[in-house]
């Protein structure tokens, strides 16, 4: 982990640091790859689908046999607003519902005054053919929100599922939802993974999603399809809203999620929806519906207003968003652990002083048994300039040092910072603070780059390489990562202690860092997970950026202390490591780049 490498790099002499596989960051090539010990990236989605096919077929057979045993078999109303699609794709969409292996469904269609007369003929044909298909024919075009509401008026199911007029769902989509509902009978919102499908039926571009990730939802609509909602909740919030066309389902997800408990929002990590990728469709090019961006802004701003949150929005690239929260500029203690190595410390402090717009902060040096005379001379200079020095003597124990330094402070916000980091952007501290002050947020982490402009940290994913590793490690800073997540604020199970901000009250609520079990390695991950147990979300923001001088090719620690910490983590956090809720089981745990797993790690037939 990054903290362990930090310990070796910063607290020991250069001669003690050199390893045979270490290379100078300044000499790293422009295209940096992970160490050669990692397997090559697997990107063959067609092969992935082929490997999943027999499992899906087994599931379908098994589901049909045990259907009569399921205690909860609610009616699901599939909502299908229609406006002038190509006939063949509309037929395919309808047939995908008719082929569902779960039989208790109804298809509620609204024709939104399509000018093509063949569409009405097709819909009338299906009305006569299938008794659980109902159609409303609107006299004038009202767009997708009004059309969807017209379909809701004829729906009688306990749950509604949303389908677009040229997309399709696989035969087991509703069955998977029913299994989910039998496991979580109070679920209010269920969503699945999705991909795209072209005219030939070829699938591509899978979106393997995070479990419920409320901060990510304020930047992108990751819920999207396949979305299934409890109908009573949809009625409670008033259905779809006109004026939000293009982002009407994002708006609905925001409103529903504000009314229900997080535990009632369930993610099925399997592709249960295929977007039709054809010319003119959003699946082909999101730019086809650029007006949706403005609708999304309105939906998110309304969410802030409903929740009483003071925040503004800024666009990220073309179609994503960055919330900026207004706060009262609380006091911040920037705690920098160090032992000698003043060349690193000086560069770090100079960068803070010259590149920090936020004013209400105090730099605190946590000195752990520095011995060089030059260090003490520098400390005297720092004291004269108003920087505090806190002595934390004894054998190096990062958790103990952080706890001792934090205990000595009265500032509301604590910001831990490695002394081998340097500030990139002036607004870094304001960005960390605006999230750290939020009641529901615990540790907040920044985006760290190697000196050669490749990512070192963008959140921590559990399970990668064993206990966990940094998200998007080794990608270039200009790479937006998987489904843009490297450029968006979002929740992760943990963030690195190399740059981490949190409220002092959060630290107190979990009794600080764990000095006994994880004195050094994994102390940041353990702290974040214990904060999670208390209900605080860990958050990564890419809008606070640092260079971090950690070597890009350092090998793992094999000390007894590291082994003990690893054993503790495997025991204490076994379930989290086995299934990180913010990382999809269809993605690899052999690399940090969010490429495909050879096969899903979480697919059950029963």
Establish if 56 belongs to a structural domain.
no
Structurally, the chain folds into a number of domains equal to: 2
DSSP 468: E
**Is 30 in the same domain as 85?**
no
**305 touches 387 (CB < 8 A):** no
User: Which SS3 state, helix, strand or coil, does residue 593 take?
Assistant: coil
Establish if 331 belongs to a structural domain.
yes
Q: What pLDDT is attached to residue 31?
A: 45
Rounded distance between C-alpha atoms, residue 282 and residue 606, angstroms: 35
**Is 224 in the same domain as 299?**
yes
Encode burial over 105-127: b for 16+ CB neighbours within 10 A, e otherwise. Answer: bbbbbbbbbbeeeebeebbeebe
**Is 516 in the same domain as 554?**
yes
Within 10 angstroms of residue 258's Cβ, the number of other Cβ atoms is: 12
Establish if 368 belongs to a structural domain.
yes
**Is 370 in the same domain as 254?**
no
Establish if 122 belongs to a structural domain.
yes
**Is 347 in the same domain as 233?**
no
**Is 37 in the same domain as 93?**
no
**Is 235 in the same domain as 331?**
no
Establish if 598 belongs to a structural domain.
no
This prediction has a pTM of: 0.92
Which sign does the torsion angle of CA 431, 364, 514, 556 carry? positive
Establish if 165 belongs to a structural domain.
yes
**Is 263 in the same domain as 351?**
no
10-residue averages of pLDDT along the chain (606 residues): 37 29 32 67 96 96 96 98 97 98 98 96 96 96 96 98 97 98 98 96 97 98 96 98 96 97 98 88 54 93 97 92 97 96 95 97 96 96 97 95 97 97 97 98 98 97 96 96 97 98 98 97 97 98 94 56 95 97 97 94 80
Establish if 341 belongs to a structural domain.
yes
**Is 255 in the same domain as 353?**
no
Domain of 427?
2-42+327-578
Instruction: Provide the CA 466 distance to its chain's centre, in angstroms.
Output: 20
Q: Which two tokens stand for residue 191?
A: 């969503």
* Radius of gyration, CA atoms only, the chain: 26
Q: What pLDDT is attached to residue 363?
A: 98
Rounded distance between C-alpha atoms, residue 542 and residue 475, angstroms: 14
**Is 19 in the same domain as 100?**
no
Q: What pLDDT is attached to residue 318?
A: 76
**Is 428 in the same domain as 486?**
yes
CATH number, residue 195: 3.90.550.10
Say what angle helices 560-572 and 523-533 make with each other, to 10 degrees.
Answer: 20
**Is 436 in the same domain as 393?**
yes
Q: What pLDDT is attached to residue 289?
A: 59
Establish if 320 belongs to a structural domain.
no
């Amino acid at each position: 982990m990054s903290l362990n490498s930090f310990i070796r790099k910063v607290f020991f002499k250069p001669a003690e640091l050199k390893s045979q596989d270490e290379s100078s960051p300044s000499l790293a090539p422009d295209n940096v790859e992970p160490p050669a010990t990692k397997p090559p990236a697997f990107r063959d989605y067609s092969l992935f689908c082929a490997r999943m096919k027999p499992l899906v077929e087994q599931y379908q057979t098994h589901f049909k046999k045990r259907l009569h045993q399921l205690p909860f078999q609610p009616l699901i109303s599939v909502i299908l607003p229609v406006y002038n699609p190509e006939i063949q794709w509309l037929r395919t969409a309808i047939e995908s519902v008719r082929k569902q292996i779960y039989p208790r469904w109804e298809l509620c269609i609204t024709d939104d005054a399509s000018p093509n007369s063949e569409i009405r003929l097709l819909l009338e044909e299906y009305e006569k053919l299938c008794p659980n298909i109902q159609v409303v024919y609107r006299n004038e075009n009202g767009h997708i929100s009004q059309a969807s509401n017209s379909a809701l008026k004829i729906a009688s199911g306990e749950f509604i599922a949303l389908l677009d007029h040229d997309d399709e769902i696989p035969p087991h989509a509703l069955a998977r939802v029913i299994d989910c509902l039998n496991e979580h009978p109070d679920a209010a919102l269920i969503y699945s993974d999705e991909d795209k499908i072209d005219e030939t039926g070829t699938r591509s571009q899978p979106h393997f999603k995070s479990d419920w990730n409320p901060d990510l939802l304020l930047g992108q609509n990751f819920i999207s399809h396949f979305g299934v909602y409890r109908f009573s909740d949809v009625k409670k919030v008033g259905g779809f809203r006109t004026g939000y066309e293009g982002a009407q389902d994002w708006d609905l997800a925001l409103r529903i999620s504000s009314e229900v408990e997080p535990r009632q929002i369930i993610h099925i990590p399997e592709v249960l929806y295929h977007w039709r990728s054809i010319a003119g469709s959003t699946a082909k090019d999101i730019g086809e519906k650029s007006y949706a961006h403005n609708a999304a802004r309105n939906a998110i701003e309304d969410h802030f207003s409903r929740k009483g949150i003071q925040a503004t929005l800024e666009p990220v690239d073309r179609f994503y968003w960055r919330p900026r929260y207004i706060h009262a500029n609380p006091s911040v203690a920037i705690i920098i652990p160090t032992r000698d190595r003043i060349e690193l410390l000086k560069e770090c402090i100079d960068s803070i002083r010259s590149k920090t717009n936020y004013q209400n902060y105090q730099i605190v040096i946590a000195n752990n048994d520095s011995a060089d005379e030059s260090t003490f001379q520098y400390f005297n200079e720092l004291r004269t300039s108003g920087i505090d020095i806190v002595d934390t003597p004894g054998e190096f124990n990062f958790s103990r040092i952080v706890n001792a330094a934090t205990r000595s402070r009265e500032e509301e916000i604590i910001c831990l910072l490695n002394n081998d980091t340097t500030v990139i952007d002036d607004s870094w501290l304001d960005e960390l603070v605006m999230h750290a002050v939020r009641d529901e947020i615990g540790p907040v982490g920044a985006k760290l780059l190697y000196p050669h402009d490749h990512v070192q940290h963008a959140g921590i994913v559990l399970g990668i390489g064993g206990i966990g590793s940094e998200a998007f490690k080794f990608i270039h800073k200009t790479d937006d990562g998987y489904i843009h997540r490297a450029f968006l604020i979002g929740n992760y199970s943990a963030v690195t202690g190399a740059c981490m901000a949190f409220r002092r009250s959060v630290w107190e609520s979990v009794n600080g860092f764990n000095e006994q079990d994880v004195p050094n390695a994994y102390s940041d991950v353990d702290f974040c997970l214990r904060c999670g147990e208390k209900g605080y979300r860990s958050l990564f923001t890419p809008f606070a950026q640092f260079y971090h001088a950690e070597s890009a090719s350092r090998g793992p620690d094999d000390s007894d202390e590291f082994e003990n910490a690893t054993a503790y983590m495997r025991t204490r956090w076994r379930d989290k490591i086995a299934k990180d809720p913010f990382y999809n089981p269809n993605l690899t745990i052999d690399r940090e780049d969010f490429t495909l797993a050879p096969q899903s790690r979480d697919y059950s037939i029963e």
